[in-house]
A and B are shown apart, each in its own frame.
Chain A
Amino acid sequence: MARLVAALLLVALALPASAGTVTPDRADELRYIVRQDCGSCHGLRMTGGLGRAITPAALAGRDPDDLSTIILDGMPGTAMPGWRPLLSEDEARWIADYLLTQEP
């Protein structure tokens, strides 16, 4: 039992803390969605367009949960759409972590 927990822990540690149910294949797709679909408003490199810059530098210090909420529900009154119909909560959280840490 202890062995199993340790093994599970190891697996868990190998993934970003909040990976949830995001499989590596889905992660590839999400990376692609960020570049292309978020990129159509935020720029291919997230440096800003119609939507403001969402690079790690621009988002530094932001709470990933807040960012996930923005991604899922959008920002009413702005052009930022809610992605809930297309992304799960785990996926939104994965994207929030990704935006905070990686230069797409």
Chain B
Amino acid sequence: MLKPLALALLTLTAPMLTAPAALADDLRGTGDLGLIVEREAGSLLVVDRSERAAIGRIEGLGDLSHASLVYSPDERFAYVFGRDGGLTKVDILTRTIVKRVVQGGNSIGGAISDDGKLVAVSNYEPGGVKVFDAETLDLVADVPMGSKTVGIADVPGSRFVVATWDTGEVWVLDHAADPAKPVITKLTGIGANPYDALLTGDGRTYIVGLFGEKGLTAVDLWQDPPKATRFLPDYGKDQPDLPVYKMPHLQGWTLADGVFALPAVGLHQLLWVDAANLSEIARTDLAGQPVFAVARPDKREIWVNFAPPGNDKVQIIDVMTHQVTDTITPGKGVLHMEFAPRGREVWLSVRDENRVEIRDARSHEVLAEIPARAPSGIFFTDRAHQTGL
């Protein structure tokens, strides 16, 4: 009985195995794809890095101002966190919405667990974190925190870490034993009004930026319990605070050459910090309030964009000299920059001019342009494999 069946199976599958050409034409990898948020239109532009072109659009995602997204481990699906509390799972190959739930009143970001099984959403209203099954988007755990939450990131071992704006805490949620009942570790006294945070690529250091007071806090997640250290407590104490027309983002900012390069708050400066002892090394004067300070993947340069009114510019800073080496003016409303994984080129969204500009990351020349509707965040699929993104 088994033999005829196996034979039948063989004959059935043989043609497929020997003549996959037609199928292969339809198949494609996703490693050079990306998604660009079109915030006003509530849509996502699907882009192909190799082609430097848009290859499709996914519509109907609601209010996407301040939207961000994370990728599934297979780089096929993205989970999009919208301002209106929507959590949408999209398929970038078929360019369709797989599922959409409105899970809160006002969400600010999210993260995917290291095993790809859980998606956590950080909410302003009601303040806290909700955790969903990545396959079905069914609610797995609801963790109210009594505060707006910011800077959520995935920590190795089915964990998430998040900071609280109103109460100045850091919460670590450990879903390893029972996803529905995370073990919670809470650190208090982190500082006044954390506005954003980021996790280093090794998953060890969670850096929290403070708005309500000077300084930042680093949490060492390798310690048990995690250990918080305040640093740069006095930066800018001697200078008057400048108005902050847009909150800086810490995500995307990274460790370059053993140092952290941090956007200052209320100062038009980039702060350089020794990663080993958290002391200040240098400062660089900038053209405005920095928003993103992103390292080119080789970590040789930091690219910075700005809050209004300087949001038409990008400045490039040399990591070795801490000097601004170039100031470029892509156009009005430069909201985000995303490097190709190996750093060959950088994509910049120019919101008010409805286009995305692609520049050579070394010569800074414009290589191409893609029309997009009020583009904001640009997300390449290689983020799927990076802790904290």
Q: Which residues of A contact B (CB under 8 A)?
A: 32-33, 35-37, 39-41, 43-45, 47-50, 74, 79, 81-83, 85-86
By a CB distance below 8 angstroms, the chain A residues around B246 are 37, 40-41
- Bound together, the chains give a CA A47 to CA B62 distance in angstroms of 13
- Bound together, the chains give a CA A85 to CA B308 distance in angstroms of 11
Q: Are B243 and A40 in contact (CB under 8 A)?
A: no
By a CB distance below 8 angstroms, the chain B residues around A33 are 308
Q: Known A36-B351, A48-B124; judge A43-B65 contact (CB<8 A).
A: yes
**10 residue pairs, one from A and one from B, having the closest CB atoms:** A44-B65, A81-B243, A40-B246, A37-B308, A81-B245, A81-B244, A43-B83, A82-B243, A39-B65, A44-B63
Q: Are B247 and A48 in contact (CB under 8 A)?
A: no
- Bound together, the chains give a CA A82 to CA B242 distance in angstroms of 10
Q: Are B65 and A40 in contact (CB under 8 A)?
A: yes
**B window 80-120: CB within 8 A of A:** 83-84, 106, 108
Task: Please count how many residues in chain B sit with their CB below 8 Å of the partner chain's CB atoms.
Answer: 26
- Bound together, the chains give a CA A35 to CA B66 distance in angstroms of 12
| Shortest beta-carbon distance from B176 to chain A in Å | 32
| Shortest beta-carbon distance from B331 to chain A in Å | 14
Give the residue name and chain of the B residue nearest to A48 (CB): B106
Q: Are A44 and B39 in contact (CB under 8 A)?
A: yes
- Bound together, the chains give a CA A79 to CA B148 distance in angstroms of 14
By a CB distance below 8 angstroms, the chain B residues around A36 are 333, 351-352
| Shortest beta-carbon distance from B193 to chain A in Å | 7
Q: Which of B84, B244, B351 contacts A79 (CB 8 A)?
A: B244
- Bound together, the chains give a CA A80 to CA B167 distance in angstroms of 18
Compute the total of residue contacts between A and B using a CB distance below 8 Å. 59
- Bound together, the chains give a CA A5 to CA B125 distance in angstroms of 52
| Shortest beta-carbon distance from B103 to chain A in Å | 16
Q: Does B211 contact A (CB under 8 A)?
A: yes
By a CB distance below 8 angstroms, the chain B residues around A43 are 63, 65-66, 83, 106
Q: Which of A41, A45, A86 contacts B63 (CB 8 A)?
A: A45
- Bound together, the chains give a CA A50 to CA B244 distance in angstroms of 13
By a CB distance below 8 angstroms, the chain A residues around B247 are 40-41, 50, 79
Q: Does B339 contact A (CB under 8 A)?
A: no
Q: Which residues of B contact A (CB under 8 A)?
A: 39-40, 63, 65-66, 83-84, 106, 108, 124-125, 148, 165, 193, 195, 211, 243-247, 308-309, 333, 351-352
- Bound together, the chains give a CA A35 to CA B83 distance in angstroms of 14
- Bound together, the chains give a CA A81 to CA B39 distance in angstroms of 23
Given contact pairs A48-B106, A79-B193, A85-B243, enumerate 11 new A-B contacts (beta carbons under 8 Å).
A39-B65, A40-B66, A43-B106, A45-B63, A48-B125, A49-B66, A49-B108, A49-B124, A50-B124, A83-B243, A83-B245
| Shortest beta-carbon distance from B87 to chain A in Å | 17
By a CB distance below 8 angstroms, the chain B residues around A79 are 193, 195, 211, 244, 247
Q: Are A49 and B106 in contact (CB under 8 A)?
A: yes
- Bound together, the chains give a CA A86 to CA B244 distance in angstroms of 12
Q: Are A50 and B165 in contact (CB under 8 A)?
A: yes
By a CB distance below 8 angstroms, the chain B residues around A39 are 65
| Shortest beta-carbon distance from A34 to chain B in Å | 12
9 contacts between A and B (CB under 8 A): A32-B352, A36-B333, A37-B245, A40-B66, A44-B63, A44-B65, A47-B106, A79-B244, A86-B245
By a CB distance below 8 angstroms, the chain B residues around A81 are 243-245
By a CB distance below 8 angstroms, the chain B residues around A41 are 246-247
Q: Are A86 and B308 in contact (CB under 8 A)?
A: yes
- Bound together, the chains give a CA A8 to CA B352 distance in angstroms of 35
A33, A50, A85 — which one has the most chain B CB atoms within 10 A of its CB? A50
- Bound together, the chains give a CA A45 to CA B39 distance in angstroms of 11
- Bound together, the chains give a CA A33 to CA B311 distance in angstroms of 12
| Shortest beta-carbon distance from A4 to chain B in Å | 39
Give the residue name and chain of the B residue nearest to A38 (CB): B245
- Bound together, the chains give a CA A45 to CA B42 distance in angstroms of 13
| Shortest beta-carbon distance from A56 to chain B in Å | 18
- Bound together, the chains give a CA A23 to CA B13 distance in angstroms of 72
Q: Known A44-B63, A50-B148; judge A86-B309 contact (CB<8 A).
A: yes
A35, A45, A49, A83 — which one has the most chain B CB atoms within 10 A of its CB? A49
- Bound together, the chains give a CA A40 to CA B108 distance in angstroms of 11
By a CB distance below 8 angstroms, the chain A residues around B124 are 48-50
